[in-house]
A and B are shown apart, each in its own frame.
Chain A
Amino acid sequence: MIRKKLQKISVFLMIAIIAVAGLGKVAFAEGDTASKKTIILGTSADFPPYEFHKIIQGKDEIVGFDVQIAKQIAADMNANLVIKDISFDSLLPALDSGRVDFIISGMNPTPERKKSIDFSDIYYDGKQSIMVRAEDKNKYKTMDTLKGAKIGVQKSSLQEEIGQTIEGANLTSLDKISDILIQLQTKRIDAAIMEEPVAKASLTDNTAIAKAVPVTDINGYAVGVKKGNPELLDQINKTVARLTKENKVQEYVDEASSLVNGQQKKLDTFSFFWKYKTYYAAGIKYTLLLSVLGVIFGFVIGLFIALLRMNRIAVLRWVGMAYIEVLRGTPMLLQLFIIHYGLAISLGINFTALESGIITLSINSSAYLAEIFRAGIQGVDRGQMEAARSLGMTHTQSFKTIILPQAIKSVLPAIGNEFITIIKESSIVSFIGVADLMFQTQVVRGLTFAALNPLIIAGIIYFILTFGLSKLLGLLERKLRTSDIH
């Protein structure tokens, strides 16, 4: 009898999984209908003036001189350009797993990187500079004066390597330029190493460029492609050569720099929110979508796992237990990376970022929900099952109509907590480039270099979502309780 129930549930689960997988298929098929082929650019669009978000005529676009170059490459190949915004750290894995065809992201062709991907010829020879607080402008005249200083750099960047060559320097490696700037302003670091165009674009009244100039043998930026792809590399090199010959690159740099300028203006929190509301609105949409789907799938899978966990058959019980322990015992971020990158590289299962996010949230919360359900089911008095069975009801009927409703009712507060947790934890999908609330917050920070406002706004929005939900659940609980006064 219980087996029949399990069968039903597993069929439902399979349908759900196929439906999710199907989402990807459909999206892919739509992309294919265009007769032109498509080429996908991976870039970390928080790096003005190289690549950054800007609202142009009410629409959020990724612009910058790297993007201009990518457009030229696509045009020369007669292909449609699709831009994927991915954190700098994840660019190489994205290229490796075939999610993007090439990367242009202010990336230097370091020997370390050359081991895993191929680079084109240099398209722009950028200089490095040292950014300091305005009052320290004359303190750092030569590189020697930086010995023992606290220095901020972008994670896995050329600047990080330069920093490592400075004697006694205390390095802080961060993901975002905006984070480095905050660290500088709040005196957690003394100086930051940046590309000159970036430093110039992000200058404020409080910061200055020091006289010291870092030297390195690896200068300049190149386009990255997956190893063993000489045709694409050739094609890109042709475009780079043409642009260099026509002296277009400097033109693009100037254009992009002028796009950056005038972006920063002091705004109060509300005006700031109003100006960037489209970013936040788009982010809320994804955060809610992820949370709702995560909760629904988590609920169904969690119930299924709880049934496995309590099954009479030892092997199934063991499977349920292992599932729960593994998912609860490892960080969700790790699970996300394994599902998004690991499966793509090892098994060729290519989920979109959104799918990976939904799957991770679903299975992660299912482990917690399974334990909640188990506690609820075991908490129902055994006399309830006996009474139902004594009336001739089958085990399945009794479980469905007598045990489960009581169990769910008793664990409703715990389920509510789990929902709230999911809303908050869904923010980790920003790591793989799902444009949720956290991701959009980072975008706004990258765009404006504003220290606090984007974070405060995100905090308020998250709070409204979770507080609103907890009030709503409280209402539902009270309503249920009126029918069952103990």
Chain B
Amino acid sequence: MISIKNLRKSFGQLEILKGIDQEIRQGEVVVVIGPSGSGKSTFLRCLNLLEQPTSGEIRFDDHLITAKNYNINQAREKMGMVFQQFNLFPHKNVIDNITIAPIQVKKMEKSRATTIAIDLLRTVGLEDKKLAYPSQLSGGQKQRIAIARALAMEPHVMLFDEPTSALDPEMVGEVLDVMKKLAEKGMTMVIVTHEMGFAREVGDRILFMDQGQIVEEGTPDQVFSSPKHVRTQDFLSKVL
């Protein structure tokens, strides 16, 4: 579904991604772990070109999205993204936050977009907040709304960029629950996270990144129980 070839990204002199090759398959939940500054978020943000790769190729649903003349908005419609800082639109209420993209991008009828939004709100357990403004919500509620907002575009893949890092500990669970349900429904997901328990439980495949490279990958059991690489061992001994 997403195929990444020799992806490199530099900010000025600093090379953040040093050649990444990956294949994300349909229905797969891929969890990216690694120390801070290892390039996890940059890697994720390259997938929908929020960061423009310095070189390399990314294919999504058989389109070469890194091609110069490719209209990236078409790919982004099918790639939902959830941010660490939620990035809800503060001047719009919950329903409008969720329906704005279907209405503007897919030219969907407002009534139909609203029906879909209410359904999604039910899924994330926030139907009663449909008229609230983001400033009236807790962090966990905001992130669940952000997930619903991304899902409203009916994406083929969901990208999560440290979705629980900005949350108070007691709110982490409600967001992870929503993500878990999503994974169970067969959604293709790429998740950057520090929640190792969640990674182990939900992930089909774990990528361990360090210094701009994928150092080790495998099933959760392989990576967490018997890490091969010394840097993986070192990292896991610190976080587990």
Which of the candidate stretches B56-64, B87-95, B193-201, B208-216 sits at the interface with the other chain?
Answer: B87-95
Interfacial chain A residues near B67, Cβ < 8 Å = none
Interfacial chain B residues near A137, Cβ < 8 Å = none
Query: CA of A107 to CA of B85 in the docked complex: distance in angstroms?
Result: 73
Contact B133 A390 (CB under 8 A): no
16 more contacts with CB within 8 A, not counting A381-B87, A405-B91, are A383-B85, A387-B81, A388-B89, A388-B101, A389-B73, A390-B83, A391-B100, A391-B149, A392-B73, A392-B76, A392-B77, A394-B73, A397-B104, A397-B105, A406-B91, A485-B133
Q: Which 5 residue pairs spanning A and B have beta carbons closest together?
A: A392-B77, A387-B87, A391-B101, A390-B81, A383-B87
Contact A391 B76 (CB under 8 A): yes
Closest to A408 in B: B91
B-contact 0/1 string along A375-419, CB 8 Å cutoff: 000000101101111111110010001100110010000000000
Closest to B74 in A: A392
Tell whether B153 is near chain A: CB-to-CB under 8 Å.
yes
Query: CA of A407 to CA of B116 in the docked complex: distance in angstroms?
Result: 29
Query: CA of A486 to CA of B91 in the docked complex: distance in angstroms?
Result: 11
Tell whether B164 is near chain A: CB-to-CB under 8 Å.
no
B residues contacting the other copy or chain, number (CB 8 A): 27
Interfacial chain B residues near A405, Cβ < 8 Å = 91
Interfacial chain A residues near B146, Cβ < 8 Å = 387
* Contact residues, B182-221 vs A (CB, 8 A): none
Query: CA of A383 to CA of B134 in the docked complex: distance in angstroms?
Result: 15
From residue A162, how far is it (CB to closest CB) to chain B in Å? 67
Tell whether B10 is near chain A: CB-to-CB under 8 Å.
no
Tell whether B179 is near chain A: CB-to-CB under 8 Å.
no
Contact B150 A391 (CB under 8 A): yes
Query: CA of A409 to CA of B91 in the docked complex: distance in angstroms?
Result: 9
Contact B50 A393 (CB under 8 A): no
Tell whether B113 is near chain A: CB-to-CB under 8 Å.
no
Contact A484 B133 (CB under 8 A): yes
Contact A390 B89 (CB under 8 A): no
Contact B136 A485 (CB under 8 A): yes
Query: CA of A381 to CA of B83 in the docked complex: distance in angstroms?
Result: 13
Closest to B103 in A: A401
Q: Can you report 30 A-B residue pairs in the complex whose CB atoms are below 8 A from each other? A: A383-B87, A386-B87, A387-B88, A387-B89, A388-B89, A388-B101, A390-B76, A390-B83, A390-B150, A391-B80, A391-B101, A391-B105, A391-B150, A391-B153, A392-B76, A392-B101, A392-B105, A393-B73, A393-B105, A394-B73, A397-B104, A405-B91, A406-B89, A483-B133, A484-B90, A484-B91, A484-B133, A485-B133, A485-B136, A486-B135
Tell whether B48 is near chain A: CB-to-CB under 8 Å.
yes
Closest to B76 in A: A392
Interface size class of A (residues with CB under 8 A): 20 to 34
Closest to A395 in B: B73
Query: CA of A383 to CA of B82 in the docked complex: distance in angstroms?
Result: 11
Contact B81 A401 (CB under 8 A): no
Query: CA of A485 to CA of B133 in the docked complex: distance in angstroms?
Result: 8
Tell whether B79 is near chain A: CB-to-CB under 8 Å.
yes
Query: CA of A50 to CA of B133 in the docked complex: distance in angstroms?
Result: 68
Contact B83 A386 (CB under 8 A): yes
**Quick one: which of B73, B89, B135, B149 contacts A384, CB cutoff 8 A?**
B89
Query: CA of A485 to CA of B85 in the docked complex: distance in angstroms?
Result: 18
From residue A103, how far is it (CB to closest CB) to chain B in Å? 57
From residue A457, how far is it (CB to closest CB) to chain B in Å? 43
Contact A384 B87 (CB under 8 A): yes
From residue B49, how far is it (CB to closest CB) to chain A in Å? 9
Interfacial chain B residues near A387, Cβ < 8 Å = 81, 83, 87-89, 146
Interfacial chain B residues near A401, Cβ < 8 Å = 100, 104
Closest to B96 in A: A401
From residue B48, how far is it (CB to closest CB) to chain A in Å? 6
Query: CA of A84 to CA of B149 in the docked complex: distance in angstroms?
Result: 64
Closest to A385 in B: B87
B-contact 0/1 string along A443-486, CB 8 Å cutoff: 00000000000000000000000000000000000000001111
Q: A391, A405, A483 — which one has the most chain B CB atoms within 10 A of its CB? A: A391
Contact B153 A392 (CB under 8 A): yes
From residue B196, how far is it (CB to closest CB) to chain A in Å? 26
Contact A393 B101 (CB under 8 A): yes
Closest to A485 in B: B135
Closest to B106 in A: A392
Interfacial chain A residues near B74, Cβ < 8 Å = 392
Contact A393 B89 (CB under 8 A): no
Interfacial chain B residues near A397, Cβ < 8 Å = 104-105
Closest to A398 in B: B104
* Contact residues, A10-45 vs B (CB, 8 A): none
Interfacial chain A residues near B91, Cβ < 8 Å = 405-406, 409, 483-484
From residue A409, how far is it (CB to closest CB) to chain B in Å? 6
Closest to A409 in B: B91
Query: CA of A390 to CA of B50 in the docked complex: distance in angstroms?
Result: 7
Query: CA of A483 to CA of B91 in the docked complex: distance in angstroms?
Result: 8
Query: CA of A391 to CA of B149 in the docked complex: distance in angstroms?
Result: 8
Q: A409, A483, A485 — which one has the most chain B CB atoms within 10 A of its CB? A: A483
Query: CA of A389 to CA of B76 in the docked complex: distance in angstroms?
Result: 8
Query: CA of A170 to CA of B186 in the docked complex: distance in angstroms?
Result: 94
Q: A381-B87, A383-B83 are in contact. Are A389 and B50 (CB under 8 A)?
A: yes
Q: A483-B133, A484-B135 are in contact. Are A390 and B73 (CB under 8 A)?
A: no
Contact A402 B76 (CB under 8 A): no
Closest to B104 in A: A397
* Contact residues, A73-93 vs B (CB, 8 A): none
Query: CA of A486 to CA of B133 in the docked complex: distance in angstroms?
Result: 10
From residue B11, how far is it (CB to closest CB) to chain A in Å? 15
Query: CA of A387 to CA of B100 in the docked complex: distance in angstroms?
Result: 12
Q: A386, A392, A405, A409 — which one has the most chain B CB atoms within 10 A of its CB? A: A392
A-contact 0/1 string along B101-117, CB 8 Å cutoff: 10011000000000000
Query: CA of A345 to CA of B77 in the docked complex: distance in angstroms?
Result: 58
Interfacial chain A residues near B153, Cβ < 8 Å = 391-392
Interfacial chain B residues near A381, Cβ < 8 Å = 85, 87
Interfacial chain B residues near A384, Cβ < 8 Å = 87, 89
Q: B73, B149, B153 — which one has the most chain A CB atoms within 10 A of its CB? A: B73
Q: B89, B91, B133 — which one has the most chain A CB atoms within 10 A of its CB? A: B91
Q: B79, B81, B90, B150 — which one has the most chain A CB atoms within 10 A of its CB? A: B90
Query: CA of A483 to CA of B87 in the docked complex: distance in angstroms?
Result: 17
Query: CA of A402 to CA of B149 in the docked complex: distance in angstroms?
Result: 14
